[in-house]
Amino acid sequence: MSHSFHNKKIATKFIHAGAEPDPSTGAIMTPIFQTSTYVQSAPGVHKGYEYARSQNPTRAALESALAIIENGKHALAFSSGVAATDAVIKLLSPGDEVIAASDMYGGTYRLFTKVFERFGIKFIYVDTTDAQNVANAITDKTKLIWLETPTNPLMNITDIEAVAAISKKAGTLLCVDNTFASPYLQNPLDLGADIVMHSSTKYLGGHSDVIQGALIVNDDALRDQLYFIQKSCGAVPGPFDCFLVLRGIKTLHVRMKQHCENGIAIAHYLRQHPKVQRVYWCGFEDHHNYAIAKKQMRGFGGMLSFTLKDESMEAATKVLSSTKIFSLAESLGGVESLINHPASMTHASIPKEERIKNGLTDGLIRLSIGIEDADDLIEDLKQAIG
């Protein structure tokens, strides 16, 4: 892997990470190596590539870029974010325990409870916004701590450094889902995490045209274990999808700057709106863990959620179906703005009592703020809220 851009500033790193001119032609963009196998000159004599589930040059360039932008040593790309999560849990064995955040992406919760619990892995959900809760849940069976910060959709913040210290002391692994922040705003490995997970589908790809996931680590042995799982279980992304994410990363810093700027404008607009009850955004100074957000993030991103004073489903539904620029859809992190109803869409797989207990009410509306003009976005919300 090339690390020549490791110590450059973010904008330079994001554009050049992993991009070596193609050695056979000089092509500045990494070619899409659409092949399943590679010709060997004699049995076992090859150029480092044997079979495309194990190795692909387009994927190798992307993995090199992913490592560099997360300040890590190694990266592995997967066919989706949940496939990356799946690979991490496959490091474990029956009887092992995982401490996970009580407020996290619905698909992660579904994978843990509906798939891996059947294999004898135990998941303990705690409010990780207070690191002490994590320390209290540790047992001699704890093998992994799973964090998401900021969380989806309530924008809760967990102190990565504090949980990393607890994890180190207990001898467990700490994995952080860094999808919402993206490497532009937060680098969990620098704060002591062992594994960073991304749904590259979101900000890394950035254009709502690809499903992909990633894991980034520093430890060589951990990389080898995860690579073994990647090639044995086979959830690898195709070369064209790798090309798309590699291309997305080149503009990540420019897009994130605009997502953050628009996020600030819309968070403040919604907060003063007479019909809005509460805005969930980690950039408000009175946010529960604002000081931690400020410490571990370089900005507050483009995600926020809000509730209306009228808490009925009908009132939320009216807003959700009236926006003209914000499209009603799952997913996030693309250049275009999306509006979402977590209770019936992204988080429908979480049982209602669990959802409500964690503050995810039926009236909650989530926004993925794109990089359109902020005034137009505000105008759109204004007419939709009425």
143 near ligand PLP, rule: CB under 6 A: no
201 near ligand PLP, rule: CB under 6 A: yes
Q: Work out which of 102, 152, 208, 337 binds ligand PLP, going by CB under 6 A.
A: 152
Residue 105 is among the residues annotated as catalytic for this protein: yes
107 near ligand PLP, rule: CB under 6 A: yes
Choose between 170 and 195: whose C-beta lies nearer to ligand PLP: 195
One DSSP character per residue, 91-124 reads T--TT-EEEEESS--HHHHHIIIIIGGGGT-EEE
CA torsion sign for 281, 84, 198, 175 is: positive
Choose between 70 and 385: whose C-beta lies nearer to ligand PLP: 70
Cite the beta strand spans of the chain per DSSP E. 74-78, 97-101, 122-126, 142-148, 173-177, 195-199, 213-217, 276-280, 303-308, 327-328, 338-340, 365-368
3-state secondary structure of 57: helix
Tell the smallest beta-carbon distance from residue 84 to ligand PLP (Å): 8
- Given 86, 96, 103, 177, the catalytic residue: 177
Q: Work out which of 82, 175, 204, 245 binds ligand PLP, going by CB under 6 A.
A: 82
Residue (of 18, 35, 1) closest to 239 by Cα position:
35
Residue 86 is among the residues annotated as catalytic for this protein: no
Alpha carbons 165 and 270: distance in angstroms, whole number: 37
Tell the smallest beta-carbon distance from residue 314 to ligand PLP (Å): 27
Match 């980690």 to its residue by tokens: 282
Choose between 70 and 148: whose C-beta lies nearer to ligand PLP: 148
Question: How many other CB atoms sit within 10 Å of the CB of residue 45?
Answer: 7
Tell the smallest beta-carbon distance from residue 213 to ligand PLP (Å): 5
- Encoded one letter per residue, x for contact with ligand PLP by CB under 6 A and - for no contact, window 272-291 reads --------------------
Alpha carbons 252 and 18: distance in angstroms, whole number: 14
Pairing status of strand 195-199 against strand 173-177: parallel
213 near ligand PLP, rule: CB under 6 A: yes
Residue 355 is among the residues annotated as catalytic for this protein: no
Choose between 57 and 237: whose C-beta lies nearer to ligand PLP: 237
105 near ligand PLP, rule: CB under 6 A: yes
Q: CA gyration radius for the chain? A: 21
Catalytic residues: 53, 105, 177, 202
Residues that bind ligand PLP (CB under 6 A): 80-82, 105, 107-108, 148, 152, 177, 179-180, 199, 201-202, 211, 213
